[in-house]
Amino acid sequence: MFIFQSRLARQEEVISALVDGELPPEEEELLRRDLPRKEGLEERMIRHRALQRALSGTPPESDLCDEAQKRVHEQVFRTLRVRPFRTPWWQQSLSVPLPVASAAVAVFLLAGLLATGLFQGASVPGQDGSARQGLAGLSLEDRNIHVQVNVDATQTEQFLQWLNDQGQAQQLTIQLPEQARFQFRGDPVMVRRDPVHDLEILPLDEYTHGEHQLQELQTGEFPE
């Protein structure tokens, strides 16, 4: 087996052996005489001696090692562009003040109650098997809504007509003012009505006019 070695590599081995003192005295003397005549041999010998001193010298202090290690780490981070570790958003904790959290919970509960009442089905089966109507399926009559409206006396007729056209009112209660601004004419009397036999209050002039008509019917005498 033949090993081919370049001339430059052979020279490096000879120079390394010369610096380390591994050559015989005769070869070392011949090589030292040839160093000035060979270009580049002396420079390579100087580099080998510097390397030998660095390897055989005392190790550097710990501070120098730490500083060198720091520079190496900085260079590695700049080269690799390492990003800092970040916690995923679903694992992060969010701090909210207690008043804000309480208000948010109250609003959420109120919205849930309103949504449940408005969007539930028109009929929900009850425990006894019967259909129980929800708020969304109730009519205005079933909801029993009471509304109070103040209407001017001059517009009462128009309001009653409009309310009648809607067809949603079941009971209408009219509250008169405590101090009446109108006067009664005549004296009211109590008479019987047939066939229901209930009492009705009539003005005096209408009562006397009715008696005259009854007397005319009974006697058959009519004024000319």
Q: Evaluate if residue 123 carries a pLDDT over 50.
A: no
pLDDT at 191: 55
- % of the chain at pLDDT higher than 90: 0
Q: Evaluate if residue 79 carries a pLDDT over 80.
A: no
Q: What is the dihedral of CA 213, 217, 221, 224, to 10 degrees?
A: 50
pLDDT at 78: 75
Number of domains within the chain:
1
Within-domain flag for 91: no
Strand 189-193 relative to strand 131-133, pairing: unpaired
d(CA 48, CA 53): 9
Read off the pLDDT band of 158 (50, 70, 90): confident
Within-domain flag for 6: yes
Q: Evaluate if residue 221 carries a pLDDT over 80.
A: no
Within-domain flag for 84: no
What's the pLDDT tens digit per position in 19-38?
777 778 888 787 777 776 77
Within-domain flag for 28: yes
Within-domain flag for 53: yes
d(CA 209, CA 8): 154
pTM confidence score: 0.23
pLDDT at 2: 40
Within-domain flag for 145: no
Can you tell me the mean pLDDT for 54-83? 73
Residue 29 belongs to domain spanning: 1-57
Within-domain flag for 218: no
Q: What Rg do the C-alpha atoms of the chain give, in angstroms?
A: 60
Within-domain flag for 44: yes
Q: Cis (ω within 30 of 0) for the bond into 195?
A: yes
pLDDT at 122: 44
